[in-house]
Amino acid sequence: MTASAPRYMARFRCIAEACEDTCCAGLTVPISESRWSLLRQKVAGGPDEARVSALITPNPDGATGQQAGILGKRADGHCAFLDEAKLCSLQRRYGEAVLPDGCSVFPRVLTRWGAQVEMAGSLACPETARLCLLAEDALVREPVPEEQALRPQVARQVAAGDDAWTAHADTVREAMLRLLARREVPFAVRLFALGRMALDLGDFYFPGTTAFAPTGEASPHPGTSGVEEAAAPETREPMADSALDARGASRHPGASEDVDASASETWEPMVDSAPDASDARAEAAGERLASILREYESTDTLASLHAQLEALELPGGPWAGICGAVLRSREAAVSSPRFLSLMHDVRASYGGADTHPDEAWQLHATRRSALESLHGERVHQYFLHHALNHVLRHPFTEAASLLNAMFLLVLRASVVRWVLLGHPAVVALLDTPGTPLATLDAAAVEAFQGVAKHVEQAPSFLEFAKGLAGEGPETFARLLILVKGL
């Protein structure tokens, strides 16, 4: 096995009782049958036998295997095994081997791409958030010793390569990372470009696609016909020039008519009964994917998209309303005093619960402009690192489409931006420009970590995001609203 990680995770060491938060609170932690059995053996005949028996119970859902048992929680939501020093009493007495997989691995997130195990990090941990956001070289990927990738056997296998969706996933992901790293291009334009790229690829590159198969009929993406999947970009119906004019036609921005015509000839319907024709269709699909990825690395394409995004005028109230709605729903479900206190302060900074989204947006836009003049590069680094880490930590192959994966990235970034610009320390900093940069850094760590822990992975948030995204061009239109807010 080989392992790699962004540099901030290679540097990570748990700071335990010195941490401003604890990962041992607010979570439902399952334990596998094998770890549960090992723990029972370790405590047998000792003072912790009855405690372990009482505080770890069979999964009420009847699950077995990796989620056979559930660790109990105290009334305050903390793990029943957390001691007064904010340390795990089980690990202290019996070693790391008895811990559930989630406890042992967190905040590491392990993903297996072929034979390679990648170790990204969850920003739900304050220390990983600090290391990820604040060091300029945090997202440089490098090999790490295998022992740093704790319990690689629990890594998610997201790219088996036995279907076109996963076989091309690493190529697409690397293109996404390169595009995000284009620092000469405004960050919102990079997100816009990723959304457009995902929209263009979505006609033929999606879970279950057979566009790349050497034989057989190409199965259409849900909601499309087989003809549409095989069609060239310019044969798709152009998007309406309505409130979201900047979407334009779904052909690559800046692409010439000659290039489009050539693509159209390549993608005429093919006869599946002829092996050479079906082989050509698969080859053409691969060439088309490579061509689209190259197009979105073009300086001319990015300049065209920049101009389109600048020309697009959208009200900010809907963006503010979305961010506020997400946080209100989570407040009702979270018991963490630290998170709830921050949410109370953020809401108050935007005028309180009854403030109209348009008014809240005006406050936000004013602060955004002021913070850009004071610490623009630092804030850009926060959101770039968050986005790069998101691509590594959340493989897009787990989404319904590449466009849906992009929508979720932009929605998460929007919510964090709203919290950061409403953080009381940031509001005070804008009134006192000489405030040390460390104050902004501390506020950013708290904002990103709080959202990562209490919002980003919550089932209710993911369900909300799914409903908000819609499908296809509708998803892209809604993504634009979020991008303009950023």
Domain chopping of the chain, boundaries = 1-23+111-144, 24-105, 164-311, 317-485
Q: Which residue has the tokens 């104050």?
A: 439
* Model confidence at 362: pLDDT above 90: yes
Q: Is 200 left (phi over 0), alpha (psi -120 to 50) or beta?
A: alpha
- What residues does 143 pair with on adjacent strands? 4
pLDDT for position 250? 39
H or E element in which residue 331 lies: helix 317-331
* Chain-centroid distance, C-alpha 35: 30
Confidence of residue 120 (pLDDT cuts 50, 70, 90): very high
pLDDT in tens, 288-311: 999 999 999 999 999 999 999 999
Q: Could you write out the DSSP letters of every residue in 404-470?
A: HHHHHHHHHHHHHHHHHHH-HHHHHHHHSTTS-HHHHHHHHHHHHHHHIIIIIT-HHHHHHHHHHH-
pLDDT in tens, 211-241: 888 654 444 554 443 333 433 433 333 333 3
Question: How does the average pLDDT of the chain come out, rounded?
Answer: 85
Q: Which residue has the tokens 């998610």?
A: 156
Contacts (Cβ under 8 Å, ≥6 apart) of 394: 405, 408, 409
132-to-120, 212, 437 alpha-carbon distances in Å? 10, 37, 17
CA atoms within a 13 Å half-sphere pointing along the CA-CB vector of 268:
5
Question: Does residue 473 contact residue 202 with C-beta atoms inside 8 Å?
Answer: no
Q: Among the ranges 229-243, 373-387, 452-466, which has the highest mean pLDDT value?
A: 373-387
Q: Provide the percentage of residues in the chain whose pLDDT is more than 90.
A: 55
- What mean pLDDT do residues 325-353 have? 93
pLDDT for position 221? 53
Confidence of residue 86 (pLDDT cuts 50, 70, 90): confident
pLDDT for position 479? 95
- Distance, in Å, from the CA atom of 398 to the CA atom of 406, rounded to the nearest integer, reads 12
pLDDT for position 215? 55
Q: Is 28 exposed, middle or buried (0-12, 13-18, 19+ CB in 10 A)?
A: exposed
H or E element in which residue 142 lies: strand 141-143
pLDDT for position 446? 97
Which of 219-228, 327-336, 344-353 shows the lowest per-residue confidence on average (mean pLDDT)?
Answer: 219-228
Question: Does residue 138 contact residue 154 with C-beta atoms inside 8 Å?
Answer: no
> CA angle at residue 172 from 171 to 177, to 5 degrees?
100
What's the predicted TM-score (pTM) here?
0.84
- Sign (positive/negative) of CA torsion 179, 184, 187, 190? negative
* Model confidence at 468: pLDDT above 90: yes
Structure tokens at 340: 């709830």
Question: Does residue 411 contact residue 480 with C-beta atoms inside 8 Å?
Answer: no
- Distance, in Å, from the CA atom of 245 to the CA atom of 238, rounded to the nearest integer, reads 11
- What mean pLDDT do residues 397-418 have? 96
pLDDT for position 265? 38
H or E element in which residue 118 lies: strand 116-121
Structure tokens at 313: 């005028």
Q: Provide the percentage of residues in the chain whose pLDDT is more than 70.
A: 86
Neighbours of 75 (CB within 10 A): 6
* Model confidence at 263: pLDDT above 90: no
pLDDT in tens, 28-79: 888 988 889 999 999 998 888 898 889 899 988 887 777 888 998 888 888 8
